A and B are shown apart, each in its own frame.
Chain A
Amino acid sequence: MLKIDDLEAKWLRYKIKSYTPRFIVSFFIFLGVLFFIFFDLPYNFILEKQSEIFSDHNHNTLAKNDLTTLSETKKNSDSEGISEDVNIDTSKKKKIVQTHDEITLSPSMNFIQSIRQDTPIYYDKEKTNKKVSTKSQVVKKEAVIHSPRIEEIVLKTDVTKKETSEINIKRKNTQKDIEDVIERFKKSNNPVLSLFIAKKYYELKDYRQAYNYALTTNELNNKIEDSWIIFAKSLYMLQGKYKAIEILNKYIAESNSQKAKILLENIKSGKLQ
């Protein structure tokens, strides 16, 4: 006898239970969105404001520095002449560079590490040798390193990455490839070739052909472990699970093959797909 009211109540409970995880997930997503809206946007706004304030401040300091250097140059030109004006100009430049260091983001030198990792050891050695010799120069020029250089280096690393990805050889196991090997096998009757064909057919999921060639290999040389393995696997794939088990058991009894034992376990447990 059906108790519809009870059943309806149970159904309602089931629905609530089944929707609870979805509700929790969507609630957290909603919270995340809220967090983004209320915390992340004001944070960005503060950052923008900060950068604006910084830029204003730096403009002021730059202007001040310009003024001081100009006044200094004026004073110095008056007292020491034009030849010293050039020196003052360089000091002015230094000051400007210093102020720029304060404002702009300084380039990360981590890329050198990545370049080192990417380049072969002998290049690295050369670089270190060069570095030792030019170390003093680098120290002097460190402040003058500009971002464009870094960009160049980064591009170079990208190029090396592209080159390495192009090196990968793509091999296609087409039917034609197998046909060529079949032709060779017909001429030579070599079990290595027939085993190769069996493996390729297995990879191409043509289990009937894989079965045939594994059997042929086995007839030519029944000591080849892989011919037993491919034979059993193909048989399994052709819905002959119990035959495959039987064959593997026989082969294990004869050869004590570890590979066959593992395959047998996989077939029995249904792990072989």
Chain B
Amino acid sequence: MLTDIFENSKQVFLDTVDAKDHVQIDRFSTIYQSLKDSVNKPLKMILLYGKPGTGKSMFLSKLYNDLLPMKRIFLYQNPILDDSEFFKRLAQDILDVKYQGELNFTQFMKIIEEYSSDETPVVLLDEAQLYSSNLMEKIRLLSDTRKIKFVITLHKTEEEDLIAKEHFQTRIWDTIELENASAEELKTYIQKKLMKANCFDIAHMFKENNVKLIHKLTRGNYRETNKLLYTLFEIYLHYLEFNPSRINANKISNKLIEMSAIHTGILNA
């Protein structure tokens, strides 16, 4: 019984990008609403940026799921790095045309300029820092036609700071930054995530000092938190199976949190 509860809790923190796993936090709701509003505005490009693990992909996924019934929206979670493949995919999604051979930018521009629709299709590009600057330049030119609207996510790193380039700055009409969680937000995140999976007892086992330690270790990064808690429940399961007398199953142990941090490489022992 207890093993099942811990097993369920472990699965809750499996690091996946699924809009259904999205947890409602006040700050998330505000940011998400502003992102939704931006998509409905006549803007060419919207930039969603933040450090890795701050929930950019999750936001994009949720936006895609929410707007899919109402809008022509396409989500490219994995970057298409080849130019021709990228334009062929766009042509297929937006124009419903399947190209067999090569499709270069000039050809695609010609097609897209002739294309007219009542509604501007929205393309969500995740991990845009992986696209070459050359392809990004072409995406910018495409957005200038106002025939396609792009929402792009970028990692906030100095080397990959594409938006620093002047030509790009002028095209990005709205920027939304995602940040790591505060200790309070992290507590809400952990508890809501567990409660969503009906792990109420485990959710209440996380006390202030546990969350503070988790926040200190992960700096409020959601991905790191998921990783840490997944390992934590794995350790609990191990103890339950082999040495149940060594753990107190009624409260979360800071020792086990630190052990998880060591195992995941967050702490250097």
Interface residues of A (CB under 8 A from B): 2, 4, 7-8, 10-11, 13-15, 17, 239, 241-242, 245-246, 249, 268
Contacts and interface: CB of A to CB of B under 8 A. Distances in A.
B263 A7 contact: yes
A138 B105 CA distance: 100
Given A10-B269, A11-B269, A242-B169, A2 B238 contact: yes
Contacts of A2: 234-235, 238, 263
B170 A8 contact: no
B178 to A, nearest CB: 12
Contact of A14 (B170, B234, B238, B267): B267
B3 to A, nearest CB: 15
B239 interface: yes
Given A239-B177, A245-B164, A14 B169 contact: no
B259 A11 contact: yes
Given A4-B235, A10-B262, A242-B169, 16 more contacts: A2-B235, A2-B263, A4-B238, A4-B242, A4-B243, A7-B259, A7-B262, A10-B259, A11-B262, A14-B267, A14-B268, A239-B177, A242-B172, A242-B175, A245-B164, A268-B164
B258 interface: yes
Nearest to A17: B269
Contacts of A239: 177
Interface string B105-125: 000000000000000000000
A8 B238 CA distance: 13
A242 B45 CA distance: 14
Contacts, number: 44
A4 B241 CA distance: 12
A11 B255 CA distance: 8
B163 to A, nearest CB: 6
A11 B258 contact: yes
Interface in B217-256: 234-235, 238-239, 242-243, 255
A162 B169 CA distance: 57
A17 B269 CA distance: 8
Contacts of A246: 166, 169-170
Contacts of A15: 258
Nearest to B161: A268
A160 to B, nearest CB: 51
Interface centre among A4, A242, A245, A246 (most CB of B within 10 A): A242
A240 to B, nearest CB: 8
B258 to A, nearest CB: 6
Contacts of A245: 164, 169
Nearest to A3: B263
A10 B261 CA distance: 11
Contacts of B177: 239
A11 B164 CA distance: 43
19 contacts: A2-B234, A4-B243, A7-B235, A7-B259, A7-B262, A10-B259, A10-B262, A11-B255, A11-B259, A11-B269, A14-B262, A14-B268, A15-B258, A239-B177, A245-B164, A246-B166, A246-B169, A246-B170, A268-B164
Contacts of A268: 164
B41 to A, nearest CB: 16
Nearest to A14: B269
A242 B172 CA distance: 9
Contacts of B166: 246, 249
A8 to B, nearest CB: 7
